[in-house]
Structure 1
Amino acid sequence: MRMLSALRVVALLGAVLVAAPAALAEISAQRLALCAGCHGADGNSQQKGIPSLAAQPKLFLENQLVLIREGVRDVPSMKGMLDGVADAEISALAQLYSEKSLAPVPTDKDAAVFARGGKLVEGMRCGICHLPTYLGRDQIPRLAGQREDYLLHSMQQFKNNQAVGRDSNMAASVYGVSDQDLQDISYYLARITP
């Protein structure tokens, strides 16, 4: 287990102080530190390939944490981190991160790529499940403002049948979609202001 820097510990403590007291009662300080180490103290990841959890639907987060804990969804970097974690703590973690604010989206915008991505998302009817705002709901994740690299990686996993333990409907949704189109979609979704 890697040690958090002093700055991260201070940021984590700040996040803990503003978190919902009821949720915090169920979450161990060690668990919060583990989550913050990759996903950020405020749930906004700064690490490549690591998703932001802030403002994701609570039910979606709960389900994913249970799937990871039970070994149904394989996330190698999280292997063993949720072993023995009680449902109450998982629910509290999901509540905590669902209430966090999403960081501002990237401001750099290539208008042509953004327009292509928007057209693809509309044509693929992503808003039917993820809502027209792409904020997600219930068991469906928020896409708006998610890390571009994570969105692309995730869609490529679905396309290549490597998204074990995740919604198989997405595999059908991206079947036959070119890598360039997936890049444009990721670019667009990462820059949508929720």
Structure 2
Amino acid sequence: MMKKLLLSLTLAASVTGMAYAQSVEEKTATCTACHGAEGVSMIPNWPNLAGQGSNYLFKQIKDIRDGRRSIPEMTGMVDHFTDADVREIANYYSSKPANLGQADPALAEKGRNLYRAGDMAKGIPACTACHLPNGGGNKPAAFPALSGQHPTYTVNQLKTFREGSRNNDPNSMMRLIAEKMTDAEMEAVASYMSGLHGTNR
């Protein structure tokens, strides 16, 4: 009788645990307001997550959760996620089709030159070194994909690196680059990167 009772309690506990297990869609439900149902944001101030490297997303979500990257609008939103949750969410968005952006033709030449060659006179390296010629990013190294990203968001991030208010870049590499860039240069390269479409043009 006792064995049957223990078995019943064990099964009940298992069923209860399963009832509270969330799917990745449920875990990301609060993300959709800013990042879109498929990881493509309708608001240019917020990043597209679809097609982004899983390692990059994993690092950024953990940095936000653990206080290494400050985003006031996300306060408390990821605090309850375990590392396993974060990895699942990162993989989920990484598997989504990436956004296709459109570069401003008026900024394309200046942006292309900066992205592909940098500006050695100012000590600005080519963006291709870390983000690849097609803007796909170095996924194993957790360097982000930039192709299709909203230019407004990219410019805002470059400015926060320049100001030092974002400081979760490895070895300060983005801060050292951004502090040498003008607003006009940031706008040009952000526009060009958005329109790369994963090609080598």
TM over 0.5: yes
Aligned residues: CA RMSD: 1.7
Partner of 2:128: 127
Larger Rg: 2
1:185, distance to aligned residue in structure 2 (A)? 0.7
Do residues 192 (structure 1) and 196 (structure 2) align?
A: yes
Please give the TM-score of this superposition, normalised by the length of structure 2.
0.78
1:144-182 Cα offsets, whole Å, 9 max, x none, are 110110011011111121213334210112222111111
Q: Runs of at least 4 residues of structure 1 off by over 2 A?
A: 24-28, 164-167
CA distance in 2, matches of 1:93, 1:82: 11
Partner of 1:150: 153
Do residues 27 (structure 1) and 24 (structure 2) align?
A: yes
CA distance in 2, matches of 1:134, 1:146: 10
Is the deviation greater in 168-177 or in 148-157? 168-177
Do residues 179 (structure 1) and 188 (structure 2) align?
A: no
Which consecutive unaligned segments of at least 5 residues does structure 1 have? Answer: 1-23
Given the alignment, which residue of 106, 110, 121 partners 1:116? Answer: 110
Contact 1:55 1:98 in 2 (8 A): yes
1:51, distance to aligned residue in structure 2 (A)? 0.2
1:92-131 Cα offsets, whole Å, 9 max, x none, are 100000000012223x642x41011000112221111111
Letter in 2 for 1:169: M
1:192, distance to aligned residue in structure 2 (A)? 1.2
Of all paired residues, the percent bearing the same amino acid is 29
Contact 1:56 1:98 in 2 (8 A): yes
Partner of 1:96: 92
Which consecutive unaligned segments of at least 5 residues does structure 2 have? Answer: 1-20, 119-125
1:26, distance to aligned residue in structure 2 (A)? 5.2
Contact 2:114 2:189 in 1 (8 A): yes
Letter in 2 for 1:27: V
How many residues are treated as equivalent by the alignment?
Answer: 168
Partner of 1:44: 40
